[in-house]
Amino acid sequence: MSATLSGKVALVTGAGRGIGRSIALALAGRGARLFLTARTEGELQAVAEQIEARGGEARHLASDISTSEGVRAVFEGFAREFDSLDVLVNNAGLGISGPVLDFAERDLETLLAINVKGLFLCCQQAMRMMVPARRGYIINISSVVGFKGYANQAAYAASKHAVMGITKSLAVEAQPHGIRVSAVLPGAVDTGLMDALRPDLEKALLMKPDDVADAVLFLLSLSDSAAIDEIYVRRRTSAPF
């Protein structure tokens, strides 16, 4: 995990807080040049300023990737700042819990728009830049619910199972072009999203966002001859499965 990312350009979605913020800071700490996006301008500005205060480079654009217009704005903004894309980290996501019996259709549509549609469109845009260059790495932040089920999380689990389907299929499509695609599936992490999904969990027992960032750095430290499909990162206090 000591490999340098000097000169590499990375785009991180959902970069204003939580896991996305930690990933952005970790990538910048290894020398990557960052383009950050999320919905809240003030949070993005704070992360960019922190990166630059440490001697790094960061540009940012507030946008809502739940729409095709929002995704297009992100990549048009990216193209104004950088000529190539080496790493895309799809971290933006939303968590809404509730029993299937009472789950609102509008909440389902919102979850799928951000967690699935937005991620898919970002992958598509990134591939359009990476394929001609014949290099790149797409890392999708999924969740333990991408392979497990929990009560009151059917809609969220559906969205994260979809992320895994996209990741697995895209990895096969991308390989002939020299592009790697992986997923990181965290268990419970101390973020605002987890507060919404599992308010019953004791914060002292949760993982930290930096633990997920370390998994991303590990993937990016691999040699060109290696590939990892997915990494499941769980709390030490929880059962493996």
C-alpha distances out from residue 114 to 15, 40, 75, 152, 207, Å: 14, 15, 16, 19, 24
Which residue from 25, 77, 76 is spatially nearest to 49, judged by alpha carbons? 25
**Helix or strand run (H / E) with residue 110:** helix 105-112
> Residue 204, SS3?
helix
Q: In what order do the strands lie in the sheet with 57-62?
A: 57-62, 33-38, 9-13, 87-90, 136-141, 179-186, 230-233
Residue where the block lists tokens 């080496």: 86
Q: What are the phi and psi torsion angles at 95 (to 5°)?
A: -125, 125
Name the DSSP letter for residue 114.
I
Catalytic annotation, pick one of 137, 150, 156, 232: 156
- What's at 133, amino acid-wise? A
Residue where the block lists tokens 């507060």: 195
150 is catalytic: no
As annotated, the active-site residues are: 156
